[in-house]
Amino acid sequence: MTILVAGGSGLVGSAIVRELERVNKKVIGISSKDLNLLDRARTFSFIKELKPNVIIDAAAKVGGVGSNNAYPVEFFSQNLQIQTNLMDAAHEAKVEKFLFLGSSCIYPRNCVQPIKEEYLLTGELEETNSAYAVAKIAGIELIKSYRKEYGYSWISAMPTNLYGPNDNFDLENSHVLPALIRKFVEAKRNNSAEVVLWGSGTPLREFLHVDDLAKAVLVCLDKYDSSAQINIGSGVEVSIKDLATKIAEQSGFSGKTIWDGNRPDGTPRKVLDVTKITELGWKPLISLDEGITTTVEWYLENK
């Protein structure tokens, strides 16, 4: 059995490839250097020739609040094209199993907490990343449609905020946790007296180490078969302010942290209900403190 991981060199895809290799599965990870998924004809040709039994779609245009808010066209259009080209190509090649990875930002901005899967489309989205969210919601719907029309056992999984090795630490378009690591590490190196961070620090977020996600993906492939998306998260929330404190300590930064209230906070609170995935026998093994420590170490060694 051949498993194809699209986006195999990124944060999520590389972790899934590592986990599949660990359990001795035949896995092929591809990145945009191997195949431009925006090229529909090339994508169809590649999938038809490879004939994988399983496709895991970890490929996406991703970024933090700032880049999502600044480039909604790119986040909407490119993600729609990537996931649609890959699913349509998988259908033509009669791929047995397809796992589409989305994001917890698909849920309403002011959603009841913790967020259950059935809360999808029950309220307005967070404006700063609504384009990306709608693209991912469209992916869920396309999975449902393929199941309904062609009887595939294709599934969708919605991870919470992820972090770990191979993350994007670019300050212009990274997510909050890697951005904080880079800011505090550089402040320590430069002997800076202060670090300025976006927003108020009050939003509550949930974080999951990407190695735990990879294990959850394998559980979903083995045990989950439903048209409804399944949440994957730690079930534990932390304020951005407390997160910053943890990262500052791990980075050795002892200066002052200043919060820029003129910058957006994003969704005020977001924690997933992970009952479904835990009932399948999965649970996260890496605590946030441990995960921050190892991710800071990875950044120092590799960046």
State both tokens at 118. Answer: 């059935």
Q: Hey, what amino acid is at 218?
A: L
The number of beta carbons lying within 10 Å of the beta carbon of residue 194 is 10
Q: How far apart are CA 92 and CA 48, in angstroms?
A: 8
How many alpha carbons lie under 13 Å from residue 135 in its C-beta half-sphere? 24
Q: How far apart are CA 33 and CA 167, in angstroms?
A: 17
Which of left, alpha, beta for 50 (phi over 0: left; psi -120 to 50: alpha)?
A: alpha
Of these residues, 107, 119, 132, 152, which one is catalytic?
A: 132
Catalytic annotation present for 119: no
Q: How far apart are CA 16 and CA 55, in angstroms?
A: 12
Answer whether 87's CB lies under 8 Å from 47's CB.
Answer: no
Residues 6+ away with beta carbon under 8 Å from 48? 89, 92, 93
The three-state (H, E, C) secondary structure of 203-235, written as one string: CEEEEEEHHHHHHHHHHHHHHCCCCCCEEECCC
Active-site positions? Answer: 132
